[in-house]
Copies of this chain bind each other. A is one copy, B any other.
Amino acid sequence: MKKHNFSAGPSILPKEVMLKASEAVMDLDGIGLSLIEISHRSKEFVAIMEKARSLALELMGLEGKGYQAIFLQGGASMQFMMTAFNLLEKKAGYVNTGTWSQKAIKEARLFGEVVEVASSQEDNFDHIPKRYKVPGDLDYLHLTSNNTIYGTQMKEFPETDVPLVCDMSSDIFSRQLDFSKFDLIYAGAQKNMGPAGTTLVVVKEDILGKVSRKIPSMLDYGVHIKQDSMFNTPPVFAIYVSMLTMQWLKDLGGIPAIEEINERKANLIYSEIELNPVFAGFAAKEDRSLMNATFNITDDGLKDMFDEMCKEAGVSGIKGHRSVGGYRASMYNALPIESVGVLVDIMSELEKKG
């Protein structure tokens, strides 16, 4: 049975990418060796790494603008700590939009003063805080552009002279943004970019080297940049599949093309949530995420029927996170609009039955 994979991450990747990755595990481009048994210093893998790095900058329109793209390990959780280790000298500001922001704040507190510039915690993070003031004396302001758990997404970003650091793990490469407004962007691969196991860090070089503490080599962005993202053995498979996925996106027309598709997918499900009395959206309308639609069933008596209908149709991964409950349909770049159609049909049918 065909599955419709709404998993919040690790999540769906393009079928053609998975096919090529599967082949490369047996034989990489006909060289007679597997992708996973060659040296990372081989010309084949060096070319893969360089292509991944340049595709990331190209997709974001950041080529020749003083940025470097590196592929690290440890996920966004490692970046919560690394950003502070590398950038926090005295005081940093954080906008608290949910669980991941909170984790970033917790790690940063080990390195300096942390100011919560704004927060929507009182409302269980059902919206994005707006119209807050950014103090001018911050080393940086940290933002989380999309909140998978709550289904909220920043549509606008603060105008400030303070360097902007942004966790884009769950909406990187999904919509057009002026990425040059940010000084450091990080994103775990396992939503829009590739499989779990690598994290993209895009950093404006001139913000580095300003803290006085000594930084262990593996945690020092400067060390990784200097070594062309090969300070030590990189996570070969995850970077290869990320490269393929970025190439797939480029061939599709890049971020402008996928943004249009993502908007159509989101419109489809949010229209249903609005019109169908059996369902109620969780996130504030103006902050709804293009990536993760969160919603509840208004009549608990219909829950089992809905779950059964989803299961029968091959819809998987829509259980909501425990801190919000209900449902969450994650619609990352690689999810076909047909899958959203299948889910919306079930929702509509449930209304008739209910």
Contact = CB atoms under 8 A, between A and B. Distances in A.
Contact of A39 (B7, B77, B314): B7
Interface string A101-131: 0010011001000000000000000000000
A242 to B, nearest CB: 11
Contact of A26 (B19, B218, B234, B238): B19
Contact of A32 (B40, B195, B314): B314
A8 B39 contact: yes
B214 A36 contact: no
18 contacts: A8-B39, A9-B39, A10-B37, A18-B25, A21-B25, A22-B22, A74-B74, A75-B232, A77-B217, A80-B218, A81-B218, A110-B214, A195-B236, A195-B237, A197-B197, A235-B235, A235-B238, A237-B238
A216 B34 contact: no
A252 interface: no
Nearest to A22: B25
Given A26-B18, A32-B314, A236-B197, A77 B231 contact: yes
A108 to B, nearest CB: 10
A284 interface: no
A75 to B, nearest CB: 5
* Among all A-B residue pairs, the 9 with the closest Cβ atoms: A197-B235, A73-B73, A36-B195, A77-B232, A22-B25, A81-B216, A196-B236, A73-B74, A3-B32
A188 interface: yes
Contacts of A232: 74-77
B197 A238 contact: yes
Contacts of A37: 5, 7, 10-13, 18, 195
A339 to B, nearest CB: 12
A9 B233 CA distance: 9
A33 interface: yes
Contacts of A33: 3, 5, 316
Interface string A254-297: 00000000000000000000000000000000000000000000
Given A18-B34, A26-B22, A78 B218 contact: yes
Contacts of A188: 233
A229 interface: no
Contacts of A196: 36, 40, 233-237
A172 to B, nearest CB: 15
Contact of A13 (B34, B40, B197, B241): B34
Contacts of A2: 32
A1 B27 CA distance: 12
